[in-house]
Structure 1
Amino acid sequence: MPRLSFFSRIFRLTAVILCVFSFGLLTQAEAQTPTPEQIEMFRNLPADQQQAILDSMNRGGGTGGLSLPSGTDVRSDRKVQFPQTVKPRGDEEEEEKFDATGAPVLPRFKGGDTLLLNLEVRQYQRQAPEVEERARREAQQNSQPRIPGRQAASTTPPADANAPAPAEQQLLDRTPDETARLEEFRERILRRNPYKLDKWGILNVPELGPIPLAGLLPDEATQRVSAELRLKDFIVVVTRLPLKPTGAEALKPFGYDLFAGSPSTFAPATDVPVPAEYVVGPGDSIQVLMVGSNKGRYSLTVGRDGRINFPDLGPISVSGRRFEEVRADLEERVRDQMIGTQASISIGELRSIRVFVLGDAEAPGSYTVSGLSTMTNALFYSGGVKKIGSLRNIQLKRAGRTVSTLDLYDLLLRGDTSGDLRLLPGDVIFIPPVGATVGLSGEVRRPAIYELKNETTAEQLLELGGGLLPGADPSMATVDRVNEQRQRITLDVNLAKADGRRMLLSSGDRVRVPAIRPVLEESVVLNGHLHRPGEYQYKPGMRIVDLIPSLDELEPNADQQYILVRRELPNDRRVRIFSADLEKALAQPQSAANFELAPRDQLFVFDRESGRDRIIEPLMRELQMQSRIDEPTLEVSVAGKVKVPGKYPLEPGMRVSDLVRAGGSLDEAAYSGQAELTRYEVGPNGARQAELIQIDLRKALDGEPGSNLALKPFDYLVIKETPLWASQEEVEIRGEVKFPGRYPIHRGETLRSVMARAGGFTDLAFTKGAVFTREELKERERKQLATLATRMESDLAQMSLMSAQEAGRDASQALTIGRSLLSSLRDAKPAGRLVIDLDRSVAAREGSEQDIVLKDGDRLLVPRITQEVTVIGEVQSATSHLYRTDVSRDEYIALSGGLTPRADENRVYVVRADGSVVARGGNSWFSGGGVAIEKGDTIVAPLDTERMRPLPFWQAVTSIIYNLAVAAAAVSSFQ
């Protein structure tokens, strides 16, 4: 029987633990309350088992533990209370969250969110009116009830699925008026993007009316907006923009983030020192260590009557007394009444007390806390103060009276905890609504919304905000206020003066302190391609070389001759552009090239490689914006053979040589003899006229006044190219020549000349099989192949359609052959081969027809002596044979297995080794001797295409494919 009782207890303990853990694992966001049956099971367990379950819950961590109703007596010997679980309050800013599966949780729409509304017109076709009316009537008939067991007779004969639809059933496109109306409606909607939800989360679109979206996900919001009747012709997409508020909207109430991450459970501290002023009460444990005649260690618990039972001394009243008094009294009693014995008194386990946190707390209610807890401890347990609650007037009520008021600003701003009193049983912490609030934004150390208590002036508000930042401009501060007429007004206040600092504030004011102007005074700015860009102090008389004392300050490849200077004139802030020649300024510091700078000048050093548009274009826009009818845009242009052509600012006193310097100087291909300057001016008749001026560029660069003209707005300088200047051309000679390789050529050089430079042929050269290719011929062949392929695709489609329409016609074989030819045509690579007689070209006279003029990219490939004859096309086995003088063309074909049934035996032709084609009609060419076969020849047996109408040009296609294959094989033999 005892053994059975033991197993029964183990079973009950296991069941309760499983119940507890099942509730603890359900969620970590909020506590789980067990059922009364589970509480009863827990209450009936022995104390050690109850403690084991509670310890296992505490070790589980997190916020997903078991929560019993406050005040539930779960033990038979002692009352234990579980504090309410409060969810930690984090930062108000959005953070990426994940669900249990690890997928990101999308945020839902709320008031103040920003979204993009995108509309696309549906690709829609409407039916003819007759069809719509017929569909409506059929829908009405189908909706009528039918008699059970009977089937409605159909008056419409069954439709043939393959029969074409009647004309009235065809779908009609939207009319132009409908399309224009929808596009106009779409533009009106998109023009107002982005949209912002009001504080209730409602989307207000004038054309649609209010649409509530609060609490919806983006996909759900898209479905909700799409449900609007006026959007039935559109595809709607709603996109949420995670924008953060700026300015006054971004201000947060000060101090409330103190409670971010508040503890969700409360474990009383047992290892902290107990102060001497601690008031002992029922539930406290007093530790007694006795030494001397009577030795012993005792733990005495203060009973409900406020007394302890001291060994050998009897009951002693200690409740309501400070711990320091209790210790002195007990030690004195032991010393006086127990001769030869001394006692050491300390506090053991502290009692738990019940307090109330009420008012505007995150989780108001009753809390069981440690006896050492203070007001702030209780506030943390309750989750902190709501945004509508006061941080500066938190009241501690005891026995119906307010005994203290806590101002959390003292703790946050000055670290003062004097108002944070220790709690007693039954205390009430009451949080009243927030008082007057004033916002402080801009260049202050702690921008926020502050609650006012005794502060009434702007100066006191600045003290709450930590003072001004170094970049603040207090003289330009403003106050946004709602006046007595409930109108929002703005007041200027000079916080740099005493009168402005003494300005009285009202609840709801927003004080904004702007930053000083970002413009640098008494300084110059250095930007661009140099080692140390930045702002530098301006000194009177400062010149270019004072700011850039050496070329070592520039990065490699920086333009030393054209440094741009942007200057604002002090009287009207108009922009003027200058340029500096740093190389000349460093060489001649006393010359005008080293001109004096002015405050707020900006210097730009250019990189020769990356271009100048990124800097030049914004400056040109500035000059264009400040132009007037009497002062045109100060711009000039340079084009042609300069390194950086384009538009440039017209500087005061700018000449032709300065414009060439601005363009990065002359290019190597520039013609220095003559340039053209086009000048645009308004003539006497009021029309714009162009004047062409010839410039002697060499004299202009030397500084001769007659050629180095002063420029005017919109002048256009063109630098010509040196005659016959071009990039270096070269050709390639490979194969059986004495000196193969790549040879640069001059304009008009011929093949005979280059072959002489290559040393002539070797003794193994097969000149009749030479392959000469040219790039422009290759490009021409590529275009022809594309044209033939397009035409062939069209003819194949036509042939397929005709065969489908003509009954009994079978063109499957022709279509198969055609598609095969089309695929081969698409895959064919242009060779660009030019048929030449190499021997005659090398021996030709200068200027004769056989003296080939070379072009850039030409290639001459001279093979070795060959002894093969190749047979390709419609033969049984396309292969090569050893050349024999006594073998004819037909015999070579016979050696390849003979012709196939698809071959055209009347059009067999021969491609010579030099690329030329020998073809004869009829059979006479093949009778008797005919044309003899030579070494390197290729015999081609074409496809018989005359039987495959209506594609008469297939014969030409097959010839092109075979000839390209022969040429490609000849070229590839040199790879």
Structure 2
Amino acid sequence: MKRILYILVVCMAMLASTTTNAQDILKGKDLSTVQVDYMSDADIQKIKSQLDANNMTIEQAEGIVIEKGMSPSEYAKLKQRLKDLDAKKGPTNPLEVKPKKEDNKKEFGREQEKIKNQKVKDSLNALVFGSELFDNPTLNFEPDLKLATPVHYVLGPGDELQVSVFGVQQYSETVPVSVEGKVSIQYVGELAVSGMTIEAATSKIKNAIARVYSTVGSGQSQVSVSLSRIRTIKVTLIGSKQPGNYSISSLATVYNALYLGGGPGKNGSYRTIELIRNNKVYKQIDIYRFLTKGDQSDNVGLKDNDVIRIPSYTTRVKMEGEVKRPGIFEMKEGETFADLLNFASGFTDLAYTASVNVLQKTGKEFKVQDVNQADYGRYQPQSGDVFRISKILNRFENRITIDGAVFRPDVYSFYEGMRLSDLVTQAEGLKEDAYRQRVRIIRLKPDLTTQIINTNLEKALGGDLAADVILQREDVVTVYSILDFREAYTVTIEGEVKNPGTYDYFDDLTLNDLVVQVGGLTGTASKRVEIARVIKSDSVDANNKNRIELVNLEIAADNNEQVKNFVLRPFDVINIRRIAVYEKPETVIVSGSVLYPGNYALATKKETVYSVIMRAGGLTTVGNPAGMKIKRPIKEEQIELIESVDLNLKENDSLPDKLSKKLKEELKFATIPVNWDKIVKNPDHYSNVILFPGDEIEVAEFNEGVKVSGNVLLTSEIPYRKGKGFKYYLSSVGGIDSKGWKKKAYIIYPNGKADVTGSFLFFKNYPKVAPGSQIVVPEKPETNKMSVGEWVSIGSVITSLALLIVTAFN
């Protein structure tokens, strides 16, 4: 009994401790006895309320509860219980959207409009140097709120401070700076911090907390003060593209405000921008210092109620032409053209830098002035000046050129007194093929016309000063090659050689040389060789009607090296003839019901079906004499002949293409019917055709069935009955269907021959049926039936014609 009472007392103590800890989790001193599993949802809700009252999350309180003795496992359970509680609770109003802190829509009871700056490309001032800095949406001068708080940051209403005490004593709270400029800290009271730097406010808060928390003064606890939220300040922009009052971060700088306002307006200055603070000019901003040097000394921080005034420019000039950054630039008093050139990033590589042309404006008209290079550092641009920088001239002051038969044809530097021999020596001398009797010099005269000078190159190089011409600037010397005067000679070989064609001619080229060059003779070469040769004569012989000279030779057809080696001449055409009789064996195929199917060589030029079938052993016992046919491949030239026929069709008619495609991809061969019984009785019968290489003789097995297909009710094979006609087999498959075209039905016999249904007057003549045949019923073509209106129209026309005829006879 005592043991039971002891257990009950311990459980009650644990529950009481758990309840107490649940109510004072942040203020309790010992959390080692906390058991999260025994806490109710109400206890968890109380802990959640404590955290919300101190503007803390469970993650931020982790260090505090662990230091007070809560085990990591119990902390994890508590964190999960809080998370589950939020999930169960859910939003009280699904349509309610909690405003983000960044929205700044309501602070300390005051409404504030969110400023949205839409960047629009400035087309009017696109050439003004610096304008791209403020209308480029990819640029952004907003302050980085993640950076450490500057020690000189001045506090004001709207800022929030995170005050934490850690060590022996624990405390953490987020305190806002009120409208009166004070912060309220629990157990400490209100402290005025507005107008103080963050560094001074931190010192003041630490001293105040030390008076309450004794461990802070002794150093056992530490105080941390940080800026958790930045206030919004108001600045005014005057003279910008979008002037007005702007609400911006208190960490913002001058460039941030200028960016929001779109930069200077149409006539705004980029170099004398004024920052006015307390009705006095606090700073004068020159954006060019940032653009040209990256100097941000003018980019100072802003304070509440600052005014940024952008006055109108005083002096603007324009740079055109060969500078790296052409455009419109603003100049200050005392600045020179050298400074302007620096703003434009200097001349381009092709700029003419000896002087600059300036278009100036006077009180009445324009005038032009040249600024020499020596005066760049003295000339002060005037408002409205237009500087035009031109390109250098496309000419050389000391160029001379040599090309042709020298080892190094190129462009060289010219000097006064330079002679032809000097230039040839500089070009590493003449090549072996150089033509030495003449050299050409093209010279540019003072009036820019050209003249030609010719001299003897061999004498010039031999020391003859009269021939060794003195050269001038821009001379072009050409040394000819003897190869330039030679005609490109060729010879042609055709006929029975490995690689016939046209080849280059060389002096002393022989027939043996050419035969070996083209790979030698083929096995079909004959001993006869015909050479066609050009006829050369200074006079016309009226009696000689020959256009060329023919030379006939006899060679050893099996030898590339002939005993009598014939010397060739330019443009000879050699033709090596083919031997009279030389044919490789060609075969046909015999398949089906023969004794020895396979490939058979055509023994004679007029090999027939009968002779080949007899060589194949004749038909087997199951061979069908009425089922023999020849399948002959369709040749490419036959398809090309069909394609070349003009069918006089429309341009978009695809019939020829469909026909060619069908021949190439579907048919591939033509069928020739063979009547074997007639051939056996009479070998001279017309169906005993002469075979071609590639033909296939196909002998079908005897089949007693008759196949019926097409537009019939049942595609089937009906046993052959002697004496039964065409209609019998159609009836045996149920007749034709609704789309069948009976009068166009046809039959295909086993040997490939076909026959169609004929008609005379009202009588139909159906083809005979043989064993192994196939009856096909095609589909009726679709026809458009005439409507009632069309019949009425035709009737009206006939009636009108009848009336005309009657009237004519009356």
After TM superposition, the score normalised by the length of structure 2 is 0.45
| Larger of the two Rg values belongs to structure | 2
